[in-house]
Amino acid sequence: MTPAQWPLRLVPRRSPRFLTGLAISGGALAVAMGVRGATVGFQYASGLSVTTLPALIIATLYAGPRWGWGMLAVALAAGRLSPINSNFPDAAILIMYVISAALTVLVSSSLREALLRLDEANAAQAAAQLSLEVTEGRFRALADSAPILMWVTRTDGRREFANQTYVDFLGVPYPQAIDFDWRQVLHPADLPRILQEQVAGESSRKLFTLEARYRRRDGEYRWVRSISQPRWSPDGEFGGFIGVGFDVTDAKRAEEDLKHINDLLAERVQAALSERDEAEAALQRAQKLDAVGQLTGGVAHDFNNLLTVIIGALDMMQRHPADAARRDRMIEAALGAARRGERLTQQLLAFARRQTLRPEPVEVDVLLEEAEPLLRRAVGEAVTLVVAPGAKDVVAHLDPSQFEAAIMNLVVNARDATPSGGVIRIETRPVSLRAHQVEQLEAGDYVCIAVHDTGVGMDGETMARAFEPFFTTKPAGRGTGLGLSQVYGFARQSGGAATVDSAPGKGCTVCLHLPRGPALPQAANEGAAQSDDTRGPALTVLLAEDDLQVAELVGAMLADLGHSVRHAENADMALKRLRADEPFDLLLTDLIMPGDKTGVDLAREAVAMRPGLPVVLTSGYTGEVLTPAEDTPWPLLRKPYGAEQLARVIAEVLRLKHEV
């Protein structure tokens, strides 16, 4: 503070107390009068004079404006009592004095207010500066104590601040750290990528992240992930970036270790899942085998009856070859028994899931009627099975084998839950449902297949989980919990739904609602269709069949149809004949044959050698070749078959060839 400034520092920041103000004002006025008295005579000491103006200034500045105006009033009053020592008129002197004194008080008051505000501003600036210094000190202490790298850059990219961790990482003094070029310690493999990403990030003026390896002061490369956030001035101007860097080397190593562990876990989980799938498949096979085992007795009984009819009929024909009437009756009986055996075999294959899985329009009651003998064998004699079809001519689009398997699962479950003497009832009926009348079904026409039993029933908790895979209330070893889940899956895949209604002691009813389709067209003059001449041109047929008796019979049927036959006992022999350029018009091959080639393999190689060669596959059991066979363009003629079926298939294959 300069010598000229210090009197102003005496100006009080607040108005002084009354006595203090009186002392300042009275003292200033007394001094002014004393100076006037000493100058012009004490008889004129109280008169109006410019000597009172400094006193007004002192009173206004140091005591306040009120004391300045009060002193002015006192000076005017005292001046009226003292003669005026002047050649000017008294009124003129009074007016000039009042104006000068009033202006002096006003200017002094304004000066005092300005000084006070300036002092307040200086005090505020000093406080702000002190606060800024404290804040900066705290920030630096905080930044220097942080275990991460921190820095602040200007708009030109040069750093204007770095914390101690930043400096320690580089191992150089602070001034050098501020100007350090990080490209000197950046890993060569990361340099091109980081430069490109940094340029893109800084030009975007948005938050961006970089991750690379940097050489620490001890020479070790460390992974550092940096995050740069743009900073803006109060007026919205870009001011540079604030950045932080994390040493993520340990995290990187942990990530690699975790990835390695995950790979190992994935392998082990995959192995465990494979083992589980194998176990599930084994359980399903065991369940099938158990069910088939329960059916063995009944099926053996049925087959023995059928064989009795066939053997007896053939024996009677052999004993009485001349009795034409008896021969015709015996032939009809043997054919009927053989066809019943064929249906029974197809039902067993469907139950074992070795049939072709293909949805088709079927009459539900007819399908249920065909499955009834097998269902009765599954139920046994301790429980009564009642089949009450009520959906005559109602058609649904479904997979017959899946339908029969679903009904079999429902019947077996009902049998296990029904005590001896109970009743299982299967009934069908067409229904028209409103929207949401049955959960998951839209409004429309459906056929309902209901399986009801008089068993122990289920409580609400059990009923809620009835369709869950692997959920079962049966004792260990008695079930896999997959029966009802198969039923549910079949119903949903067929566009319908499966519901269960039960209560403890009230039995259980499972309903399948399947969408109804249009009625099947009636066969026109079916008898005439069977008698149509299906004979076509004479062909040279390559017959691949490993069973000699079947080959002899099929050869005889082909010869009876006017064709010539060349027999091959396996695929290799058939291919050998094809390579020998023997002329063939058709390949008729069994699906499953000895050796490493199936009938499908044979057909593919044959067509590759002779494009356009017609092929017919035959089999009584597709086994593991089922899926490939179904993916082929060639028809599959199922055994057993007769000459008429064989002729129709050959005619159809030739027709398709000519159309192509």
> Which amino acid, residue 266?
A
Count other C-beta atoms under 10 Å from residue 98's C-beta: 15
Other beta carbons within 10 angstroms of residue 128's beta carbon come to: 11
User: Which residues are paired to 311 by β-bridges?
Assistant: none
Residue 73 CA: distances (Å) to CA of 26, 63, 336, 348, 382 = 12, 15, 146, 132, 133
- Please count the CA atoms within 13 angstroms of the CA of 49 that sit on its side-chain side: 24
In the prediction, which pLDDT does 89 show?
47
**pLDDT confidence of residue 448:** 93
Contact between 520 and 514 (Cβ < 8 Å): no
Selection from 576, 575, 599, 596 nearest residue 588 by Cα: 599
The share of the chain scoring above pLDDT 90, in percent, equals 19
**Residue 246 pLDDT exceeds 70:** yes
Name the pairing type of β-strands 615-619 and 586-590: parallel
Interhelix angle for 249-319 vs 364-379, to 10°? 90
Bridge partner residues of 515 (DSSP): 446
pLDDT digits (tens, 9 = 90+) for 642-658: 888 889 899 988 888 77
Q: Is residue 222 predicted with pLDDT exceeding 90?
A: yes
Q: How far is residue 99's CA from residue 95's CA, in Å, rounded to a whole number?
A: 6
Q: What's the rounded Cα separation, in Å, for the pair 331 and 314?
A: 8
Q: Is the dihedral of CA 197, 201, 202, 208 positive or negative?
A: negative
pLDDT of residue 615: 93
How confident is the prediction for the chain on average, in pLDDT?
79
Percent of the chain with pLDDT over 70: 78
- What's the whole-number mean pLDDT along residues 366-379? 86
What integer pLDDT is reported at residue 532 of this predicted model? 47
Contact in structure between 466 and 529 (CB atoms under 8 Å): no
Two structure tokens written together for 1: 């503070």
Q: CB–CB of 446/398 below 8 Å?
A: no
Judged by phi (left if over 0) then psi (alpha if -120 to 50, else beta), residue 474 lies in beta
User: What is the DSSP code string of 220-276?
Assistant: -EEEEEEEEEEEE-TTS-EEEEEEEEEE-HHHHHHHHHHHHHHHHHHHHHHHHHHHH
CA 471 to chain centroid: 26
For residue 89, cis peptide bond before it (omega within 30 degrees of 0): no
Residue 278 pLDDT greater than 60, yes or no = yes
Which pTM was predicted?
A: 0.40
Query: Residue 289: its pLDDT value, please?
Result: 56
State residue 302's pLDDT score: 63
Which runs of E-coded beta strand occur in 41-193?
Answer: 149-153, 159-162
Strands 540-544, 564-568: pairing kind: parallel
H or E stretch at 343? helix 324-351
Q: What is the pLDDT of residue 52?
A: 76
pLDDT band at 529 (very low <50, low <70, confident <90, very high): very low
519 or 580, which is more confident: 580
Q: Give pLDDT tens digits for 37-87.
A: 676 666 666 666 667 778 777 777 777 788 878 787 777 777 665 555 554
> pLDDT at position 88, please?
44
